[in-house]
Amino acid sequence: MKQISIVTTTITILILGLWNWPVNIQEVLSQNVNVKPLLLVKGQWQLFSFSKGRFKVKFPLEPKVFKDFTEIEEQQLDWLLFRVDDDSYWNPTKNEADSTSLYVVGYTDLASEYIQQKTDTILERMGNSLFREFELQELNPQSKSISLNGQPGLEFYGTLDGKVAGMRLYLAGQRLYALYAVSEDTANIQQFFSSFQLQ
């Protein structure tokens, strides 16, 4: 009887997780996304590859994949986002607000008129717009210039609700990548940021 109860609970958790899946799973899989509704062993970070997005990154758990948009400077930017916050996505008993960490990678393709501007200007304008859009004023608005494989970027750090928070932006051609992380452990944010690779 105990075995049946465990099996029923497991199936319920998987069904609830898949019921709330934000995009068509077949569509995601057809785009070469390695996504499985399974928790990784705690403490292990796994390399996640998305060939259509042309990037790789390590997450502590399998990410939730969804589409969203932001209105920036009267332009709609359509984002594909990959997000992990503890195990709240696959554990229906856990409230998302109770998460102690958050890791997000997103990308969007900018209109050609943005690309005609100087790279520094594009990154600064996008960074400032994302700060306002997601109410990240507690992050230090003073950015640091960074690069990845010759692609320009900006980095922001600060505290958010008593935790360390960081954001990185990279511009590769017309594609803007945004990485955002919140954790009680700075080493986890550094591991997440440093694992990001462009393909």
Rounded CA separation 59/84 (Å):
7
Does residue 123 surpass a pLDDT of 50?
A: yes
- Structure confidence at residue 65 as a pLDDT band (50, 70, 90): very high
Average pLDDT over residues 57-69: 91
- Residue 86, amino acid: D
Q: Can you tell me whether residue 7 is helix, strand or coil?
A: helix
Pairing between β-strand 55-59 and β-strand 64-72 as defined by DSSP bridges: unpaired
Over range 31-54, report the average pLDDT. 66
pTM score, two decimals?
0.73
**Domains (ranges, CATH) in the chain?**
2-198 (3.40.1000.10)
Greatest distance between any 2 Cα atoms in the chain:
66
Q: Is the Cβ–Cβ distance between 170 and 106 less than 8 Å?
A: no
Q: What is the mean pLDDT of residues 110-131?
A: 82
The whole-chain average pLDDT of the chain stands at: 74
Angle at 138 between CA 90 and CA 59, to 5 degrees: 30
